[in-house]
């Protein structure tokens, strides 16, 4: 079948056929882990039912995981997930820049957002700072944010974690989906000011109505890594 494919499909189209495999989270994690990745604890923010953590474990099996999820809909699934995976625990709360209560739009189990716009239905949930749920000795950290425009307050509450982060994965957007949301190029600048550069990307998404770029996961690592000292293509 591969021989037939090479005969009848031009190289440019063969590349397109395999693009999905190259741009998936698993492919990005394989590339990054292959260059060396030292992680003591993974902080999965917006963990839903644990599905992202389950995939990450294949590439960082030695780490401990803390799953942070604000939507109580996922509590039974997270309880079951953590029972099945002894190196994990979960925190049912919204990550933010202060420990208080916060409004959370919980209507969509996989699309909830902290501090939604006025007028939207919301529930009150506890809020936590990432710096308060891990110990300094737990690092180096991998921080993953799937938080629908609420990234800056979370990062503001994670200064200590960022100082010892080996990898930060952030879902970023092409449109300002919330007043406080950063567009993807603004997020790149924001993280660069904090000492991180982009080393990979995965799971780009185009909105169905007009096929405009909607979102992409960006992978940030410290600018102190040797990869950033190289400026050639080879």
Least confident of 52-61, 65-74, 116-125, 149-158: 116-125
- CATH number, domain with residue 195: 3.40.50.150
The percentage of the chain sitting over the pLDDT mark of 90, rounded to a whole number, equals 77
Rounded to an integer, what distance in angstroms lies between the CA atom of residue 69 and that of residue 82? 13
178 domain-assigned: yes
- Compute the average pLDDT of residues 18-40: 87
How many structural domains does the chain have?
A: 1
9 domain-assigned: no
> What pLDDT sits at residue 125?
93
Q: Give the DSSP per-residue string, 88-143.
A: EEEEESEE-SSSSEEEEE-SSTTT-EESPPTTS--EEEEEE-GGGTS-GGG-SEEE
| Dihedral over alpha carbons 174, 131, 156, 159 (to 10 degrees) | -100
> What pLDDT sits at residue 110?
67
Copy the structure tokens of residue 110.
Answer: 């996989």
> What pLDDT sits at residue 105?
76
8 domain-assigned: no
pLDDT tier for residue 154 given thresholds of 50, 70 and 90: very high
Using the predicted structure, report yes or no on whether residue 158 has a pLDDT greater than 50.
Answer: yes
Give 59-85 pLDDT, tens digit per residue: 999 999 999 999 999 999 999 999 999
Q: Is pLDDT larger for residue 230 or for residue 18?
A: 230
Q: Is pLDDT larger for residue 21 or for residue 142?
A: 142
- Compute the average pLDDT of residues 82-100: 96
Using the predicted structure, report yes or no on whether residue 127 has a pLDDT greater than 60.
Answer: yes
> What pLDDT sits at residue 7?
47
12 domain-assigned: no
pLDDT tier for residue 114 given thresholds of 50, 70 and 90: low
173 domain-assigned: yes
3 domain-assigned: no
Greatest mean pLDDT among 59-63, 105-109, 177-181 lies in 59-63
Residue with tokens 């031009």: 10
234 domain-assigned: no
User: Residue 173: CB partners within 8 Å, gap ≥ 6?
Assistant: 149, 181, 183, 184, 214, 215
- Compute the average pLDDT of residues 104-128: 72
> What pLDDT sits at residue 104?
82
Q: Is pLDDT larger for residue 178 or for residue 67?
A: 67
Give the structural domain span for 66: 22-229
7 domain-assigned: no
Using the predicted structure, report yes or no on whether residue 97 has a pLDDT greater than 50.
Answer: yes
> What pLDDT sits at residue 192?
98
């Amino acid at each position: 079948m591969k021989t037939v494919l090479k005969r009848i499909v031009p190289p440019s189209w063969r590349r397109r056929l395999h693009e999905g495999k190259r741009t998936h989270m698993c492919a990005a994690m394989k590339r990054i882990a292959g260059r060396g990745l030292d992680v003591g604890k993974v902080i999965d923010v917006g963990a839903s039912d644990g599905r992202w953590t389950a995939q990450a474990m294949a590439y960082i099996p030695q780490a401990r995981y803390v799953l942070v999820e604000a939507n109580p809909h996922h509590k039974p699934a997270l309880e079951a997930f953590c029972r099945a995976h002894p190196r994990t625990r979960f925190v049912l709360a919204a990550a933010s820049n202060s420990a208080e209560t916060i409004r959370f739009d919980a209507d969509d189990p996989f699309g909830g957002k902290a501090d939604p716009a006025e007028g939207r239905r919301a529930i009150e949930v506890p809020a936590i700072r990432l710096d308060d749920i891990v110990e300094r000795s737990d690092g180096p950290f991998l921080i993953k944010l799937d938080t629908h425009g609420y990234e800056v307050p979370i990062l503001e509450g994670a200064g200590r974690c960022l100082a010892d982060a080996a990898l930060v994965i952030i879902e970023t957007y092409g449109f300002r989906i919330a007043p406080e949301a950063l567009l993807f190029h603004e997020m790149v600048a924001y993280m660069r000011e904090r000492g991180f550069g982009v080393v990979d990307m995965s799971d780009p998404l185009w909105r169905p109505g007009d096929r405009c770029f909607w979102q992409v996961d960006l992978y940030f690592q410290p600018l102190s890594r040797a990869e950033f000292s190289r400026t050639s293509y080879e």
